[in-house]
Chains A and B, each alone.
Chain A
Amino acid sequence: MKRKINISIIALCMMMTNVFAGTIRVVTTTQDLKSIAELIGGNKIDAFGIATGYQNPHFVDPKPSYIVKLSNADVFVTVGLDLETGWSPPLLNSSRNPKIQKGSPGYVDASIGVTLQQVPSSINRGEGDIHIYGNPHYWLDPMNGKQIAKNICDGLSRVSPENKTFFEANLKTFDETIDQKLKIWNAQMLKYKGSKVIAYHNEWCYFENRFGLQIVDFLEPKPGIPPTPAQLVKIIGEVKSNSIKVIISSPYFTTSSSDVVAKQTGAKVLTLATSVGAFDQIKNYYDVFDYNIAQLIAALK
């Protein structure tokens, strides 16, 4: 009798693993990572992104509801560096899920292999919110998107080796799509290479360098410090002397100070997409660049 029960329990467990073997549960910190994970994982994965696309990824509230998602995840994908340092470590610690802890096969640091920009040689909080490893907004260069996709592909293959060829085929398609689209994006931006712009927060350097923009200054006097009247006066002077046409903001910053500069100078405030889902029409990673480039071209014309 006892043996029968044992066998039936084992059978039940096997059935359950079979049921779940179909989909890999992926939790990503941002919507961009979710989009790329979906492009690589296809129907083999079920992905959830924690931060919404219109949210500041530095300041996500570590709600316990995310712990529930993480506790059942097979793979966790993080932008890494110190972007999510204020909220993802306590969530991971409380997840009670050994599969996705740092160093486990299910932990994917998307920044591995990415060439970082603005790596500081010394750290001083007097300079504002300084990122100790370098600027973490690297997904805003589509070439880095390819590296992110590779890291995700590697992670998914570690967890589900039987689907490795499937993921790798999708990675190849992703890389090719990026290459094709990048040619188009570069062609569109060619005319505007070297255009000077102002940005609200220092989060556009990868985008700036890829598409040949030149960010002259930031509305924040120091990263994370809200714009001061003195800084706005300085910016107004810079906009006027450089005939700057565009001030780049992000969905999660109020535009009150950008509007002041715009009013004084005639420059246009552009709220660009920092992530997938920043606006309703941005459904996937490619859309981020399609949208931003279309907006920029319209404003720089």
Chain B
Amino acid sequence: MIRQLFLFILCLVLFHRATAQVESTAADSLLLLQIQNQMAQTNPTPAPVQQRTSPSTNPDISVIGDFRGIYQSNYTRNFDANMHETEFSFQSTVDPYAKADFFYSVSRDAHTGEFKGEIEEGYLTTLSLPAHLQLKAGKFKQQFGRINSVHPHALAFVDMPNAYVRFFGEEGLNDEGFSLSWLLPNHSFFQELTVEETDGPRDNPSFARSVKNHYQTTGRFKNFWDLSDNATLEFGLSAATGANITEHTTNVGAVDLTYKWKPVKFNTYKSFTFQNEFYYSNAKFDSSTVNALGFYSLINVQVSKRSFVTARYDYTNKPTSAQFVEQAVSATLGWYATEFQKIELQGKYTTANESDEANNFEKQVYQVFLRWIFVIGTHGAHQY
């Protein structure tokens, strides 16, 4: 029965293909005739010029500038100003079945000091899979924890949390592969399960690209509740497993919890966010196993329509050393001119029990960051 049905569909498809073929050749010869007629005329009349009033098929294009001024106590040269990142984004639907997002980022290479461009993200997302599934393919920021998938310019602070940088580097988990997410059929609150299979990152403190068939698997289970019209709670459980630099396995788990209060009526004037994220890593090396912990906790308050204040506490080990303990406190003042421009000023104090290269071998570091974000073009909305 099924085989017959399949054959019938196959016949239909082939028949359709065949007729389409015939039509197109007929159209081709008609076109050829028209071209020949045109060429035979000595003075071809110019075609009327189409006024550019119709919408174009160009994707949504935007450029985001991230300019920074930095003071750091741990270098002989204390002040620095740099164009930290220039992000070019191109976003559009591909066809009725998918959309595509590209983010091309140009930034200064930390080692060579030269500007370097790279595909920060470039992926296809399906729009019409059945069973509430969505598939992503390409290079993307992985669904792991709360801030990993967020572009830094959308965050309310300038530097990434210490735990995040120690565990996953400045760029975080950003890899090539597939991502499948499923919206659970729960009608009372939002639940989404995402599973990702990727190549393995090339430059990451926790993971490495294996020379063997050892790929990276990441997953996040996101839960979201409306506590009231004005308050929401997000709770996420994440896990990542893959090869590390020694070709052994590293497993990292994460828990994130975010409470947000934003009065619906005056949501452009006031808000309060309490956000926490914990990482726990279990890394096997040639002769040892390291269990490391890291977390951050932050409070973000919108004081008025345009001003925000953020306070953050960071605590972290290194995935390679549980003895290393680093802590930091920071405060950020944000001024948002419009949706397209904001300035942030952050002061940060970091203290560690061991000096290391990242701190330029100092145990106490003072930093001040000034960040100016500016956007031109049609930059899409950010996630809640």
Binding site for B on A (CB under 8 A): 52, 54-56, 59-65, 67-68, 71-72, 85-87, 89-90, 93-94, 96-98, 101-104, 125, 129, 224-226, 251-252, 254
The answer to whether residues A252 and B266 also contact, given A63-B232, A63-B384, A96-B132 and a CB cut-off of 8 A, is yes
CB pair B134–A96 under 8 Å, yes or no, is yes
Give, as a whole number of angstroms, the nearest-CB distance from A291 to chain B: 17
How distant is the Cα of A125 from the Cα of B134 in the complex, in angstroms? 35
CB pair A224–B381 under 8 Å, yes or no, is no
When C-beta atoms are compared, the residue in chain B nearest to A251 turns out to be: B265
Q: Which of A64, A71, A89 contacts B384 (CB 8 A)?
A: A64
Main secondary structure of the interface of B (DSSP, over half): loop
How distant is the Cα of A200 from the Cα of B199 in the complex, in angstroms? 53
When C-beta atoms are compared, the residue in chain A nearest to B234 turns out to be: A64
CB pair A54–B381 under 8 Å, yes or no, is no
Interface size class of B (residues with CB under 8 A): 35 or more
The answer to whether residues A56 and B381 also contact, given A65-B224, A86-B339, A101-B127 and a CB cut-off of 8 A, is no
CB pair B226–A63 under 8 Å, yes or no, is yes
| Given A71-B132, A87-B381; 16 other pairs, CB 8 A cutoff | A52-B265, A54-B265, A55-B265, A56-B268, A60-B267, A62-B381, A64-B222, A67-B190, A68-B183, A68-B186, A86-B339, A90-B381, A93-B125, A98-B128, A101-B96, A226-B306
Main secondary structure of the interface of A (DSSP, over half): loop
CB pair A225–B265 under 8 Å, yes or no, is no
B229 within 8 A of A: yes
Q: Which of A59, A90, A224, A251 contacts B380 (CB 8 A)?
A: A90
B305 within 8 A of A: yes
CB pair B189–A61 under 8 Å, yes or no, is no
CB pair A61–B267 under 8 Å, yes or no, is yes
The answer to whether residues A63 and B267 also contact, given A68-B187, A86-B381, A89-B381 and a CB cut-off of 8 A, is no
Q: Which residues of A contact B229 (CB under 8 A)?
A: 52
Instruction: List the 7 closest A-B pairs by CB distance, nearest first.
Output: A98-B128, A64-B190, A64-B224, A86-B381, A96-B132, A54-B265, A65-B226
Q: Which residues of B contact A129 (CB under 8 A)?
A: 338
When C-beta atoms are compared, the residue in chain A nearest to B184 turns out to be: A68
Give, as a whole number of angstroms, the nearest-CB distance from A102 to chain B: 8
Q: Which of B222, B305, B339 contacts A226 (CB 8 A)?
A: B305
Give, as a whole number of angstroms, the nearest-CB distance from A107 to chain B: 11
Give, as a whole number of angstroms, the nearest-CB distance from B258 to chain A: 12
CB pair A98–B127 under 8 Å, yes or no, is yes
Which of B203-240 touch A at CB < 8 Å? Answer: 222, 224-226, 229, 232, 234
CB pair A224–B338 under 8 Å, yes or no, is yes
Provide a sorted-by-A list of 6 A–B residue pairs whose CB atoms are within 8 angstroms. Answer: A64-B384, A68-B186, A71-B183, A90-B380, A96-B132, A225-B338
Q: Which residues of B contact A67 (CB under 8 A)?
A: 183, 190
B45 within 8 A of A: no
Q: Which residues of A contact B338 (CB under 8 A)?
A: 129, 224-225
B12 within 8 A of A: no
B262 within 8 A of A: yes
Give, as a whole number of angstroms, the nearest-CB distance from A90 to chain B: 5
The answer to whether residues A68 and B190 also contact, given A86-B381, A93-B127 and a CB cut-off of 8 A, is yes
How distant is the Cα of A166 from the Cα of B346 in the complex, in angstroms? 61
How distant is the Cα of A252 from the Cα of B339 in the complex, in angstroms? 18
How distant is the Cα of A96 from the Cα of B306 in the complex, in angstroms? 34
B 172-189 to A, binary, CB cutoff 8 A, 1 in contact else 0: 000000000001001101
Which of B244-290 touch A at CB < 8 Å? Answer: 262, 264-269
B115 within 8 A of A: no
